[in-house]
Chain A
């Protein structure tokens, strides 16, 4: 294999290039990036960077002496598998022998009235975070639309900065992927910290004064005054450039467990865009938009891309992610979003540290914990495939290190 092309110059792409070099690839590597930056880490963008406890430079991922040709600030526009070329926005194209797709997601746009007013933000890239940070420094009232992870983290950051925060979501609970049972806990956490949380209501229009947003009209007829608005409505895949390539793109770039696309053994995918069979999802091709998954996928894809398909190894690590809000470190393993119900498994007597199981049928598909970091390695071992909940409970009862039995029968 002579030339490895990696489209996507964020965490997954960088780890792919590094691991290809570590595994001995001495041919060319071309890294194509939509953004003009060298790779950086995104988790601080909604937290430390906004609060000013971390500087922009500290977000850079260590690149070291990595021998690659960078093509930054030039998005890929098309993939021609027949001629084995990636077309770029500047009209050039890049030939490949093997290709890794790691183009990630972008913020889901909102196109309602007032969407283009000054003071209306989304948060995905470094520029977004810098602009939002400036807005938080000069604003008194922030409206956040969408109480998912980004919306909730920014709400916490903005409250810590002393802003008045209104958080709106059309859903009945914040952090919906964790299910309704835990919704009251998250809602209470934000209300206890002074957030004006409005659930079950959407945004109808943003209204401005002199081209700047000044208030929002909600679907229930109420009005929220705001100096800045964050639209945190989730993400959409950066796979438009793959249309017509013949790759299967639903629910993402469909791969086998070795991250090899099902359509083409010379093309692999990593990170947010990769739909990979997941044991915890009964083998269904599943996309996982977590930092650690992008890192793990990248590392494996870089190594696998050098090998014949039969020699490639599978990705088996259960998904892990976290969210820091106020003094709560929320951590999750597995696939909470696929659960049918939540059952509290362990909790300190004070109730400030706990772990809950995300359950479908009689099997545990994942866990959610708050301030229970030391318990996670135990659950990680349980979750390589979905274990019966009864077995988890039995083993937990015998574990002297558990936090304590929950006081009530359920969450």
Chain B
């Protein structure tokens, strides 16, 4: 699956980092960096990360 983050919306709250620190990280400039291709067995995690985002910036694609 693919993980998309709308960087126009992302405000670096780090909620996704708390859910899945191996997929999402905050860089030195406070901007989010993330792994776009994620194995399908992480779907529940990714959905939780998307739900946790206060800016609704995370979108999942099959």
Q: Which one of A124-132, A237-245, A371-379 contacts B?
A: A371-379
Docked complex Cα distance between A371 and B26 (Å): 12
Name A373's contact: one of B26, B47, B48, B56 (CB within 8 Å): B26
A295 contacts the other chain (Cβ, under 8 Å)? yes
Within 8 A of B (CB), among A200-245: none
Within 8 A of B (CB), among A363-411: 371-374, 376-377, 380, 401
Q: Is A41's CB under 8 angstroms from B56's CB?
A: yes
Contacts of B37 in A (CB 8 A): none
Name B11's contact: one of A295, A329, A374 (CB within 8 Å): A329
Docked complex Cα distance between A331 and B56 (Å): 18
Q: How many residues of A contact B (CB 8 A)?
A: 26
- With CB as the reference atom, state the residue of chain B lying closest to A299: B51
In the complex, number of A-B residue pairs with CB atoms less than 8 Å apart: 54
Docked complex Cα distance between A373 and B12 (Å): 6
A292 contacts the other chain (Cβ, under 8 Å)? yes
Docked complex Cα distance between A329 and B21 (Å): 21
Docked complex Cα distance between A22 and B50 (Å): 14
- How near does chain A come to B34, taking the closest CB pair, in angstroms? 13
Contacts of B28 in A (CB 8 A): 374, 401
A71 contacts the other chain (Cβ, under 8 Å)? no
B18 contacts the other chain (Cβ, under 8 Å)? yes
Q: Is A373's CB under 8 angstroms from B13's CB?
A: yes
Q: Is B54's CB under 8 angstroms from A291's CB?
A: yes
Contacts of B14 in A (CB 8 A): 373-374, 376-377, 380
Q: How many residues of B contact A (CB 8 A)?
A: 20
Q: Given the known inter-chain contacts A373-B12, A373-B30, please indicate yes or no for A61 contacting B18, CB distance below 8 A.
A: no
A266 contacts the other chain (Cβ, under 8 Å)? no
- With CB as the reference atom, state the residue of chain A lying closest to B21: A377
Docked complex Cα distance between A167 and B44 (Å): 45
Contacts of A61 in B (CB 8 A): 56
Docked complex Cα distance between A324 and B25 (Å): 21
Q: Is B27's CB under 8 angstroms from A374's CB?
A: yes
A18 contacts the other chain (Cβ, under 8 Å)? yes
List B residues at the A interface (Cβ < 8 Å).
Answer: 11-15, 17-18, 21, 25-30, 47-48, 51-52, 54, 56
- With CB as the reference atom, state the residue of chain A lying closest to B13: A322
Q: Is B15's CB under 8 angstroms from A292's CB?
A: yes
Give me 7 A-to-B residue pairs in the complex whose CB atoms sit less than 8 angstroms apart, sorted by A's number: A41-B56, A329-B11, A331-B13, A373-B26, A374-B14, A374-B28, A377-B14
Contacts of B48 in A (CB 8 A): 299
- With CB as the reference atom, state the residue of chain B lying closest to A331: B13
Docked complex Cα distance between A18 and B27 (Å): 32
- How near does chain A come to B24, taking the closest CB pair, in angstroms? 9
A354 contacts the other chain (Cβ, under 8 Å)? no
Contacts of A374 in B (CB 8 A): 12, 14, 26-30
Docked complex Cα distance between A18 and B12 (Å): 25
A96 contacts the other chain (Cβ, under 8 Å)? no
Contacts of A22 in B (CB 8 A): 47
Given contacts A317-B18, A320-B15, A322-B54, 16 further A-B contacts (CB under 8 A): A18-B51, A41-B56, A43-B54, A61-B56, A295-B51, A320-B13, A329-B12, A331-B13, A371-B30, A373-B14, A374-B29, A376-B26, A377-B26, A380-B14, A380-B18, A401-B28
A307 contacts the other chain (Cβ, under 8 Å)? no
- How near does chain A come to B20, taking the closest CB pair, in angstroms? 11
A51 contacts the other chain (Cβ, under 8 Å)? no
Interface-central residue, B12, B29, B54, by most chain A CB under 10 Å: B54
A190 contacts the other chain (Cβ, under 8 Å)? no
Interface-central residue, B17, B18, B21, B29, by most chain A CB under 10 Å: B18
- How near does chain A come to B43, taking the closest CB pair, in angstroms? 11
Q: Given the known inter-chain contacts A373-B26, A373-B30, please indicate yes or no for A324 contacting B52, CB distance below 8 A.
A: no
- With CB as the reference atom, state the residue of chain A lying closest to B24: A377
Docked complex Cα distance between A320 and B51 (Å): 15
Docked complex Cα distance between A376 and B12 (Å): 10
Q: Is B26's CB under 8 angstroms from A296's CB?
A: no
- How near does chain B come to A349, taking the closest CB pair, in angstroms? 15
Name A292's contact: one of B12, B21, B54, B56 (CB within 8 Å): B54
A282 contacts the other chain (Cβ, under 8 Å)? no
Name A295's contact: one of B12, B25, B29, B52 (CB within 8 Å): B52
- How near does chain B come to A246, taking the closest CB pair, in angstroms? 33
Docked complex Cα distance between A299 and B47 (Å): 11
